[in-house]
Chains A and B, each alone.
Chain A
Amino acid sequence: MWTAIHIAVKDLRLLARDRVAVFWAFGFPVLFALFFGAVMRGGVDDESSPVRLMFVDDADTPAAQALRERLSATETVQVEDAELEQAERDVRRGSALALLHVPEGYGAGPAGALSQVEFAADPSRRGDAELVRGTIAPLLAPIENAAKRPSLLVDRELDLETAAPANGWMLVLPAALLWGLMGCAAAFAVSMVAERTRGTLIRLHASPVRRGTILAGKALACFLACVADAAVLLLLARFTLDVSPVSMAGLVIALASVVCCFAGITMALAVTGKTEQAVAGAGWSTLIVMAMLGGGMVPLSAMPEWLVSVSDVSPVKWGIVALERTIWRGFTWTDLLVPCAVLVGVGAAAYAVGAILFARAPT
């Protein structure tokens, strides 16, 4: 245990002494995170592909049925029927863009009378939401009553445990944090090969230290550096971007899970190559593919359906889900359990693979 800590302290000291490495581990991920955060933020607002609209029909009237048919005929939305509770949950979790609640009595009044419907949308996708709102409004009233359309579509307060994000940075912070952590973790992927090329691995192998302890020390260093990286990003977000997470305890758990995941993946990558170039290349390639699949580059909402299904295999997706819920979306502990368990499980599995490979690797 102590030897692993000594190895971790040594690795962090080596990192701190190398200005270039410090930049790549801390500075670059922050810049990278901010850049991609800004890019993604714009991408979210401009998104215009078909989106899921949960249709809650509590009226069960011909007028409600007609409204549903008119909505289904548009190319903007993909209408799905749901109960109110389910629809709210899907929107709150971000798996559906919006819900349209047709209340009891809709269309039951005298012919030509106008009835209101309730609309609620995922606050992280305001661009989409406005597009859908603009699609729905003309369908609610005939042309001669066009001026009254806006008042027919009233906002429904979602039963969220938190308010909508205070600013756009809260929306992009999860992806920004993930990019930062991936960058930091990637910097540690070469640490094992560096031991080999430096010759110090021979000395470590000749010592009484177990190979598992060497790997554990490196994983610990990676974990601590990623935690420091996350702290830098969070402080930056808190004091310069006015971001305050909805639950600090939840965020700490989510971040710890994400860091466990990337530290484990990094250790698996660290033992696979024989040169620093090979490991660095494999590390970044793997992380970028995971980010692409998991919504770290292109929002999941913009992906085709099959790719959204595939995205479940990417830890980045689960990281974004966990971080979004703890930063602004709100969550129950049960909501947080699944993504965090997936992240820790992936990290542990990857670490185990790394440990087995390292134990079998020739000296």
Chain B
Amino acid sequence: MTFAGWTGFLELDDCRVAPDHAAVSGWEAGGVGGDPQGVAARLQGVTKRFGETVAVNGLDLEVLRSECLGLLGPNGAGKSTTLSMLAGILEPDAGTIELPGKASPRVRSTRRRIGIAPQSLALYPELTALENLDFFGRVYGLSGERLRARVEAGLELARLKESRNERVRNFSGGMARRLNLACAVVHEPDLLLADEPTVGVDPQSRNHLFDSIEALLASGMTVVYSTHYLEEVERLCRRAAIIDHGRILAMDLVPRLIEQHGGSAHLRVQFVEGPSAVLDLPELSPDLSLELATATPLQQLAQWSDAGLRFRSIDVREPNLESVFLQLTGRSLRD
């Protein structure tokens, strides 16, 4: 897949190539042109309160350049507040947020380097797709030929070239979501903050959005992707931060998170007939099914098969981010 208008195309599989956390350097370099393996944003001890409610509580986070960092947590975990502070919309009550060059997102000139796709659709329904992109481009200081080129690139990113002159109020939820994302990057920011960008869209539009984000990652953009859908993090993000009650519970490469916090695989089988007494099996349920946690489910199945047991059904659940969250918090992501 190629995408005109965004510089630096890579194959999609390469999109997730980001440096290891340990390899971070060049923080002082500043700007995109510094160390390509630098830090795109750093939050240290960030706290935000709304009255008595502590939305974000001493949060530490580093976003690496050109990576997609997943912020995974349930509703009310503090994801949107964190993104709002990263975007410079909210000011932290404590702690610091820095972009390359020690720049604060509260400084207006720094905001040109950040784009945000808010959770709620932030569009003008009575304007067309083209007019929305044009307006937000102008707000970020684009004009003339560059503005026209960026608007075209935005329409292409959102796959709305055919609908450019249609009013947004007539768009489907998926089309509006794609435009919401395109408006966030019309000014070509270094850092994209995507706050649950797939809320309320159909599977096809969701895939379009994934393709768009992957294209942006391929162009070298850094993405912080907030969601409570673990499969989105697994598809898009190399690293993920598990956030709950305003704190980062764990942050690492996704496979390492699963390995460290995901627990064992979950095996559920239903036998055709009861096993002989020689096999050391836990007690079966009345329908001859068995459920157990094991680090080696396939070996266990092979052992039973070798012993002559036949299976009516087999269900193996490998640990994933859901089980990571469950292990870390004791509850499900969608509770």
Interface residues of A (CB under 8 A from B): 2-3, 6-7, 10, 13-14, 17-18, 198-200, 202-210, 363
Cβ-based interface call for B229 (8 A) = no
Cβ B111 vs Cβ A206 within 8 A: yes
Cβ-based interface call for B334 (8 A) = no
Provide 21 A-B residue pairs closer than 8 Å at the C-beta atoms, listed in order of the A residue: A3-B141, A10-B124, A10-B127, A13-B127, A18-B126, A199-B123, A202-B118, A202-B122, A203-B116, A203-B122, A203-B139, A203-B184, A206-B87, A206-B111, A206-B114, A207-B111, A207-B136, A208-B111, A208-B141, A209-B108, A209-B139
Contact among B84, B122, B140, B183 with A198 in the assembled complex (CB-CB below 8 Å): B122
User: Quick one: closest B residue to A9, CB to CB?
Assistant: B135
B46–chain A nearest beta-carbon distance, Å:
16
User: Quick one: closest B residue to A201, CB to CB?
Assistant: B122
Cβ B139 vs Cβ A3 within 8 A: yes
Contact among B121, B127, B139 with A207 in the assembled complex (CB-CB below 8 Å): B139
- Write out the residue numbers on chain B whose beta carbons fall within 8 Å of the beta carbon of A10: 124, 127, 131, 135
* Given A205-B89, A206-B87, A363-B90: A198 in contact with B123 (beta carbons within 8 A): yes
* Given A14-B126, A17-B126, A199-B122: A208 in contact with B131 (beta carbons within 8 A): no
Interface centre among A198, A202, A209 (most CB of B within 10 A): A202
Closest CB pairs A-B (n = 8): A199-B122, A17-B126, A199-B120, A208-B108, A203-B122, A206-B87, A6-B138, A206-B116
Q: How far does the alpha carbon of A3 sit from the alpha carbon of B138 in the complex, in Å?
A: 7
Size range of the interface on B?
Answer: 20 to 34
Cβ-based interface call for B44 (8 A) = no
Cβ A207 vs Cβ B140 within 8 A: yes
Contact among A17, A199, A202, A208 with B127 in the assembled complex (CB-CB below 8 Å): A17
- Write out the residue numbers on chain B whose beta carbons fall within 8 Å of the beta carbon of A2: 138
User: Quick one: closest A residue to B84, CB to CB?
Assistant: A363
User: Quick one: closest A residue to B136, CB to CB?
Assistant: A203
Cβ-based interface call for B112 (8 A) = yes
Cβ-based interface call for B88 (8 A) = yes
Contacts A199-B121, A207-B139 known; list 19 others, CB within 8 Å.
A2-B138, A3-B141, A6-B138, A10-B131, A14-B127, A17-B127, A18-B126, A199-B123, A200-B123, A200-B124, A203-B136, A203-B183, A206-B89, A206-B111, A206-B116, A207-B111, A207-B136, A208-B108, A363-B90
Q: How far does the alpha carbon of A6 sit from the alpha carbon of B116 in the complex, in Å?
A: 20
- Write out the residue numbers on chain A whose beta carbons fall within 8 Å of the beta carbon of B109: 208
- Write out the residue numbers on chain B whose beta carbons fall within 8 Å of the beta carbon of A202: 84, 89, 116, 118, 120, 122
Per-residue A-contact encoding for B73-87, CB less than 8 Å = 1, 0 else: 000000000001001
Interface centre among B111, B112, B167, B184 (most CB of A within 10 A): B111
A119–chain B nearest beta-carbon distance, Å:
59
A204–chain B nearest beta-carbon distance, Å:
7
- Write out the residue numbers on chain B whose beta carbons fall within 8 Å of the beta carbon of A209: 108, 139
Q: How far does the alpha carbon of A195 sit from the alpha carbon of B227 in the complex, in Å?
A: 25
